[in-house]
Amino acid sequence: MSTQGYEDELWSERDYVADLYERLDAERERVRAGHRSALLGTGGTLLERDDEVRALAREAKRLDVADNGLCFGRLDTLSGDIAYIGRLGIFDEDRDYEPLLLDWRAPAARPFYVATGANPENMRRRRQFHTRGRRIVDFTDEVFGRPGDGERGDAALLAAVNAPRGPGMRDIVATIQAEQDAIIRLDHPGVLVIEGGPGTGKTVVALHRVAYLLYTQRERMERHGVLVVGPNPSFLNHIGRVLPSLGESDVVFVTTGDLVPGLHVTAEDSPEVTRLKGSLTMLDVLKAAVTDRQRLPEEPVQIALADTTVRIDAPIAEWAQEEARASGLPHNEARKVFIDIVTYVLTERALGKIGRGWLTRADGVEWERMRKDLLKELSVDETFNDTIDALWPVLTPGSLLGSLYASPERLRAAGADASLFRSQGDAWTVADVPLLDELVDLLGRDEAAERAAKLAAEQERSVEERFAAAAISQLTGRADSMDDEDHLYASDLINAGELAERFVERDTRDLVERASADRDWTYRHVVVDEAQELSEMDWRVLMRRCPGRSFTVVGDLAQRRSAAGARTWAHMLEPYVADRWVYRSLSVNYRTPAEIMAIAAAVLAEFAPTVQPPESVRANGFRPWARRVAADELPDAIGEFVRDEAGREGTSVVIGPPGVPGTVPASETKGLEFDAVLVVEPERILADGPRGAAELYVALTRATQRLGVLHLGPLPTALAGLDQS
């Protein structure tokens, strides 16, 4: 294409994209107007109006994210047809909804990502736009089927991976590669495991897969949302903008320490305690701990009633205990069975004692009246209620687990390892969260508390209806004093119940807020990142959150650091989805330059010799270096690195073993990427055994451009390939 021809094409493309933005703005204004109208509307029920408001708010968010890079490509077919590709679909309403812009997830857009010179998918040309805000800066073309034509898709990819890193992960919607696209569009209803080494893009592929599923299955998924589980808050902040940038906002982001609403736990146990708590053997421990709280009286308890005295002894309590356990109900719900049996026996004994006198001649009606009186007496008797609470207490997950940890005797009774003891039982760690969640189901609900809450709500509603009735009556009275015989009564327009509904506090929370606060919320799809770190007990929590078993699981077994984590995917998944999980791998490293990956691969070979490292897509000419310093020189050496990087565009990080000032542990950088990385004291990181080697592997593979190492002792053998300075 001549220079003039290129300029003409560029201006033509700019005009086309400008028209797309005009249509986007018009649609956005229409949705916003509808949203404002719905907020003020009076038609339909409150629930219907709230649904409409939420739907329009979601649509407004979806349209808002398209301002930057709305249209990023174009496909020309062999037959001469043209299709523009972008973040969302735009259609011409005046021409039978002819597509003016194809959503990148649409089937017709797939050739944009998979067409090659060898397999052009009936395409003649792929054009990629480079944009800044709403303006096309330039474009590059890849013409298929002509020897010598440049692979412009690769050029666009290299431009993206070489660009300086910002504060968060970017979407790859404009540069998805064929290997990645096949995984994103995979039609599998169960669990998909995506495994790949550092820099292979497995996380961003999983997030684009979520966007694709929401596009193709929106009706099924939208009302329940998607759960994304990551290793730490820094990682979630890093990836949190990807899905919103693709127009999807109904996504809940949590760590495993956030899986129980109301808890945010970050503290960790020792590796051995983590392994114990993560094992399925804890199920038996928890069940035994619950059973241990279901007691028998050591001595009979006397209950003084108005006309006689009865007692609760071991045989009565044992019978009630057996019946309650046999009911199969959770502990708190089985308490009613326990109480029913005890009260039945006590009332029968009391009636038997009273019946030795005149009541033996009483009729059945009188007998039942006496029984009801006895039940009423028992229900308010302090000794009776205290005894029931001691023999079959109402338990909460926190009170049960906390008291278990704080008592060596209770740990022994539950068959738990003595290493679980801690003086402050409720000093929760991340490994406690799945145990607390498990106890929610083992204990069940406190029905007495729920009845009290329901009664309070009914009383509040009654007060509101009385207030509404009084208001209507006052308005009607005013109307009666009017001379006009054709006046309209307030009660003709609305009744007290309808008016009271207007005073009910509306739940205006969006899906993310409601799902985050509801332990029983179920999701249509769950993404688990760094999944190799999750324990068997963690997986039980997640399976409860997604009964449909629709998961995208992302991980790298070679990077596992948790003693409770996965050694094989089959071990974790097959108990739940024996024949409904598939495995896909990513083999190309888009993040780490070949110079750095060669060093990291040497570390990988020492602790996981059978694992093949991913192949870097590029070399960048920067040789990673190492420098030995004295202990008193280390702070200045770190400061020098920080100052040098502060003058460059992009991001940087200093990674070191715990306790070294100015550094962060490798575990806190998992899934993140930086332009420059300084690794401090690798010999100390490695000293932590296989876990330490995995930590060092993670640290070395965070860099996208430059890597340096500072060491105090001899440089580990695996790092011999570093340039010494």
- Which residues does the annotation place in the binding site for ATP? 196-203
Which of 639, 620, 619 has the alpha carbon at shortest distance from 629?
639
* Backbone angles phi and psi of 83, in degrees to 5: -135, 130
- Tokens 């039609």 correspond to 187
Interatomic CA distance for residues 367 and 205, integer angstroms: 73
Sign of CA dihedral 636, 639, 641, 643: negative
> Among the residues of 647-722, which ranges form H helices?
682-686, 689-700
Interatomic CA distance for residues 426 and 396, integer angstroms: 12
Interatomic CA distance for residues 631 and 641, integer angstroms: 16
- Environment class of residue 381 by beta-carbon count within 10 Å: exposed (0-12), middle (13-18) or buried (19+)? middle
Beta pairing, strands 123-132 & 135-143: antiparallel
Q: Helices 271-278 and 536-545 meet at what angle, rounded to 10?
A: 50
What does the chain come to in residues? 725
Please give the DSSP secondary-structure letter assigned to residue 137. E
Q: Within 10 A of 94 (CB to CB), how many other CB atoms are there?
A: 7
Which of 632, 639, 628, 624 has the alpha carbon at shortest distance from 708?
624
Which of 207, 209, 205, 215 has the alpha carbon at shortest distance from 242?
207
- Environment class of residue 449 by beta-carbon count within 10 Å: exposed (0-12), middle (13-18) or buried (19+)? exposed
Interatomic CA distance for residues 697 and 428, integer angstroms: 30
Residue 151 near residue 188 (C-beta atoms within 8 A): no
Interatomic CA distance for residues 74 and 76, integer angstroms: 7
Interatomic CA distance for residues 197 and 670, integer angstroms: 12
Residues tagged in the binding site annotation: 196-203
Q: How far apart are the first and last CA of the chain?
A: 49
Contact residues for 50 (Cβ-Cβ < 8 A; gap 6+): 506, 507, 508
Q: Is 604 left (phi over 0), alpha (psi -120 to 50) or beta?
A: alpha
Biggest distance spanned by C-alpha atoms of the chain: 117
CA distances from 22 to 64, 131, 133, 551 (A): 13, 17, 14, 38
The 3-state DSSP composition of the chain as helix, strand, coil percent (nearest 5) reads 50, 15, 35
Sign of CA dihedral 62, 66, 70, 72: negative
